[in-house]
Amino acid sequence: MDNRQLIIINSPLSVQFSIKNCLTMKESILKNRLGRFILITNIGFAFLIVIYYLLKGFTNSEFAQLLKILVPIKAVYLTALIRYVIVNRNIQNDKKDTKQATLLFANSSFLIIFGHITILVIITSIYALFNAIDFEVLMNIIIVLETLFGIYIGVFIASTFQINNK
């Protein structure tokens, strides 16, 4: 049996696939990496918003409006993710992990999440740093983006991070 591995770069995280079965990966590995990616990117975005506020990129009322929209939406899927992590904190037996996720699903998941956070960072930066768009336009773009992403993440979280009651 060949133990060599092929490393494929996905977004900022790398995903390893065996050469024998390079079109799939263990679902537990995908969950772990996607979960970390979602958590890290959203924490980074939250810090960016606060930094822009401290640098006077947003007024007090704009910052409050932004938080009123972003906090509830982000809290929904981050809570589901954190709940999954807490419930599965003691399960570490990879030998029982026989479920495989396709490379298409893994790449699509990273691409959608990466695209979502990238657009959020760019549009927020355009407003906070350059004031190149109206605040209402920023809010409308964020609402549409978060709604579309919320639909995807709702289906994704439900299928990938489901809790198995034992």
Q: Which residues pair with 24 in a beta bridge?
A: 102
Q: Which residues in the chain show pLDDT less than 70?
A: 1-22, 91-97, 157-158, 161-166
Residue 145, in any domain of the structure: yes
Domain containing residue 80: 23-89+98-160
pLDDT reported for residue 156: 72
CA pair distance 76, 35, nearest whole angstrom: 14
Residue 111, in any domain of the structure: yes
Residue 6, in any domain of the structure: no
Total number of domains in the chain: 1
pTM listed for this prediction: 0.78
